[in-house]
Amino acid sequence: MTDQVFKSIIEKYPDKDIRFLENSSPSGQHSLLVPPEIAVDVAYFLRDCLGFDYCSNVTGVDWINGVKKGIWKSDSNEEIDGGKSGFLEVVYHLYSVQKKVGPLILRVRTKTREDRPELPSLTPVWKSAEFQEREVFDLFGIWFGGHPDMRRLLMWEEFEGHPMRKDYIPPDDYEYEPTPHGQILERIKTKAGKTE
């Protein structure tokens, strides 16, 4: 079922660079890599013409040094195998409630990881992506253009950085408050601090 869907999408956009990624694990869940400029079009086509009305899961992936080897059998796509510059990726898992098929996996990739990369939001197509795209923005730092309410979801507004990125360094202590502990230790070292 999903193979036919992949075929019909690739046929619909003959001049676009849509790639079929074949999963090499026993799960056999293959996915479709779509360029960002036609992602919304493809989404509407999937929802309205092919019946994928349920967007179950939206998530981000940080490929800091390019895609790891061996995950997809994609021999024709050389930059997928460990390209030098990394990028971010959003993955959509779609299902059809009426036809009871799925998952259909849609992937969209940014060009870079720096300067807040932007991707089109699919929330206008599937409302269920709303909170999840906010979460992806919060944790990965991908800005979704066209999202109705693009804010952080889990972290607070003043928070800096995006924790799920692979190069994020967590601070030692979020709630550091100076205590007299250190001062006392310092004083003990001196003569005045010694009791004897």
Partner 1 sequence: MNVTLEGETVVALKPVFGYLHRNHEKLAEGMSYLGSMPYTDRLDYICPLTNNWAYALAVEKLAGIEVPERAEYLRVILAELTRIQNHAAFLGFVLGDMGAWGTALMYAFRERERILDFFEELTGARMMVNFMRFGGCRWDTPAGWLEEVRKFVKGVPNFLDEMEKLLVENEILLARLVGVAPLSGKRAIEGGLSGPPLRASGVDYDIRKVDAYGIYSRFRFRIPRGEYGDCYDRFMIRIHEARESVEILKQALDEIPEGPVLNPKIKQRGFRPPPGEVYARLEAPKGELGFHIISDGTDRPYRYRVRPPSLINLTLLEEMCIGAKIADVMVILGSIDIVLGEVDR
Of the candidates 71, 50, 165, 52, which has an alpha carbon nearest to the alpha carbon of residue 110?
Answer: 165
Compute the least distance from the CB of residue 129 to partner 1, in Å. Answer: 8
CB atoms within 10 A of CB 124: 15
Q: Measuring CA to CA, which residue among 71, 162, 170 is closest to residue 116?
A: 162
Distances (CA, A) of 108 to 8, 67, 184: 18, 13, 56
Binding status of residue 121 toward partner 1 by CB under 8 A? no
DSSP 137-168: HHHH--EEET-TT---SSS-TT--S-TTSTT-
- Cα distance between residue 138 and residue 147, in whole Å: 13
Q: Is 191 in the site for partner 1 (CB under 8 A)?
A: no
Instruction: Based on the shown chain and the rule CB under 8 A, indicate whether residue 61 belongs to the binding site for partner 1.
Output: yes
Q: Of residues 35, 36, 57, 77, which one binds partner 1 by CB under 8 A?
A: 57
Q: Which stretch binds partner 1 (CB under 8 A): 5-13, 20-28, 111-119, 182-190?
A: 20-28
Report in angstroms how near the CB of residue 40 gets to partner 1 at its nearest: 16
Q: Which one of 34-42, 64-72, 79-87, 110-118 is the stretch in contact with partner 1 (CB under 8 A)?
A: 64-72
Burial 73-100 (b: 16+ CB within 10 A, else e): ebeeeeebeeeeebbbbbbbbbbbeeee
Interface pick for partner 1 out of 31, 43, 137, 142 (rule CB under 8 A): 31
Q: Among 6, 10, 13, 23, which residue interacts with partner 1 (rule: CB under 8 A)?
A: 23
Q: Which of 3, 11, 14, 69 binds partner 1 (CB under 8 A)?
A: 69
Number of Cβ within 10 Å of residue 69's Cβ equals: 9
Say whether residue 10 binds partner 1 (CB under 8 A).
Answer: no
Give backbone dihedrals phi and psi of 125, rounded to 5 degrees, phi first: -85, -55
Q: Are 142 and 59 in contact (CB under 8 A)?
A: no
Binding window for partner 1 (CB under 8 A); candidates: 70-78, 79-87, 113-121, 179-187: 70-78
In the complex, minimum distance from the CB of residue 51 to partner 1, in angstroms, rounded to a whole number: 11
For binding to partner 1 (CB under 8 A), which residues are involved?
23-27, 29, 31, 53-57, 59, 61-62, 68-72, 91, 93, 97, 100, 103, 105, 126-132, 139, 153-156, 163-164
